[in-house]
Structure 1
Amino acid sequence: MSIETASGNEPPEGRRAQAIVQVIEAAVEVRRRYQFFVWTQGVFQLLLPHKVAICGFYERSRKHVQLEVFNSVLVPSSVLSVLTDGQSPAMQQIVNAWVNNRGRPLAMRLDTGRAILSASEGLRDAGFTELLIHGVSRPQRATEIETLFVFGSPGGAVTAADVASIDLLLPHLHATYLRVQSYERESGEPRAVAAVAHTGYASVTISEREEQVLCWVREGMSNQEIGAQLGISPLTVKNHV
């Protein structure tokens, strides 16, 4: 099942509207990091395709922005270390660029000027040419980050549809990511930041059926449609996801 449009990238409007509803509905079930990762790898990819997501939130107990990377492709550990360090020149430049853009979604090219400094070369070597940045400022503090989201894909350029999608999805990204932080903090689960920072979730092993299910989810098929294809119930499909 393929998505065909005039641009080759953006799904038809009917499919896009359905995808938006599915992403929003699925968001309310997300409580843990692995669920957040799976959520962004499903129908979310129709609206905002990416292979790497840098996510951060303001941690009040430490008074700084805590960053982590969710990656479905291999990225050098040296680059991941830079991207998860809120004090690194690379991340400072990313944050400042977004703040200077008055909190609007921003596409940052990696082949112009001093774009993200030391991390830029490593990202370009991995095939990244542009990053899409958006976030939420702290209340009454427009120059300080409450949440930050940076997306990119090897060989992928940011499109107008991507910018529109991240603007639309930002409230749900913000609320869902903060819910994950709150749930894991209250449940006493360790953050395991180092594991996320260095490997993302690329090393997670999934079965052939789970891989097929995720593929169909990305193409916009419903649980009912996938279940009919595999001869299983929609609930079993949901459990696979």
Structure 2
Amino acid sequence: MDDSVLLTPRHAESLVRAIETSAQVRRRYQFFVWLQTQLHALLPHTVAACGAYHRGRRELAFEVFQSTMLPDPVLHLLADARSPLMLGLVGRWMEARGRAVVVDLNDPGLPLAAGPALGAVIVHGVSRPQRPAELESFFVFAQPGQPIGPERVLHLELLLPHLHATFLRVQATEQEMNNQPPPTQSRPGQVATVTERERQILGWVREGKSNQQIGELLGISPLTVKNHIQKILRKLGASNRAQAVALAITRNVLLRAELPPIE
């Protein structure tokens, strides 16, 4: 980290807000929303791979949160702790003596297939005291096509303790609520069985439209919109409209920048 980089007043305010709101994050969908809102001002990204130590497997188990499309092979590399990509990133982090570090995946010294899709990434993690090779968590942030400046390295250094604690709390909460171990590997290519009409409605829900407004846009009744939304909630396992949108984005059912066409 460049010690000459200073935290601007605007970023200091964003840091305080991110820390304060992290305490309310307990579910996976809340974590995704937190990444895309509070952390995004400090760590702009479209892909985040977050890993926590899985005691059963004795290794990190990763989940991938994305707001843009990536090739399935790249997503599988990000979700697999033993892939050449993740092993290479952990290796570079250790070479940096456990500090946040930017890694250019197009570097000839890194024979990683993910280079063209991700470009440069910034990584950081938490290891056990006096045991740098034993990781408790590890995080990878990417925004393909965008450079990663030294200020982002500073931001990740400052955010890491809260990012670590928040993600581990989410894992513990999800395990307790589901009464089963957390997933050992995310399934990037999995898509919920949402119809094209339901996907259109989700897009307008994300834009804050009411049932009445969505019905007028799509030429259907508000009651029909309501019925579609109830089906969407059941299919995605969501309890409300905001959660449904967040889950749809994480599962590639709905892209962050995509607005469904009006028929």
Aligned-residue offset at 1:188: 2.3
Which of the residues 167, 191, 198 maps onto 2:189? 198
Structural mapping, 1:1-241, within 5 Å = 13-115=8-110, 117-120=112-115, 124=116, 126=117, 128-188=118-178, 191=182, 196-198=187-189, 205=203, 206-209=205-208
Aligned-residue offset at 1:15: 2.1
CA 1:200–1:27 in 2, change beyond 3 Å: closer, same or farther? farther
* Higher RCO (Cα < 8 Å, 6 or more apart): 1
Structure 1 consecutive aligned stretches of length 4 or more whose deviation exceeds 6 Å: 238-241
What is the rounded CA distance, in whole Å, between the counterparts of 1:198 and 1:21 in structure 2?
Answer: 35
What is the rounded CA distance, in whole Å, between the counterparts of 2:155 and 2:190 in structure 1?
Answer: 27
TM-score by length of 2: 0.68
What is the rounded CA distance, in whole Å, between the counterparts of 2:77 and 2:28 in structure 1?
Answer: 21
CA 1:20–1:116 in 2, change beyond 3 Å: closer, same or farther? farther
CA offsets per residue over residues 145-201 of structure 1, 9 Å max, x none? 110001010211111110000000000000000000111112225646666533699
What is the rounded CA distance, in whole Å, between the counterparts of 1:146 and 1:194 in structure 2?
Answer: 16
Aligned residue type for 1:183: T
CA 1:108–1:195 in 2, change beyond 3 Å: closer, same or farther? closer
CA contact (8 A) 1:54 1:68 kept: yes
| Identity rate, percent | 40
- Number of corresponding residues: 198
CA contact (8 A) 1:69 1:197 kept: yes
SS at match of 2:70: coil
Q: Where in structure 1 are there 5+ consecutive unaligned residues?
A: 1-9, 211-237
CA 1:39–1:200 in 2, change beyond 3 Å: closer, same or farther? farther
Aligned residue type for 1:209: G
Aligned-residue offset at 1:71: 0.5
Aligned-residue offset at 1:138: 2.2
CA offsets per residue over residues 37-75 of structure 1, 9 Å max, x none? 100100311111000001101111221110111010001
Backbone CA RMSD of aligned residues: 2.8
Aligned residue type for 1:43: Q
Instruction: From the CA coordinates, give the structure whose radius of gyration is larger.
Output: 2
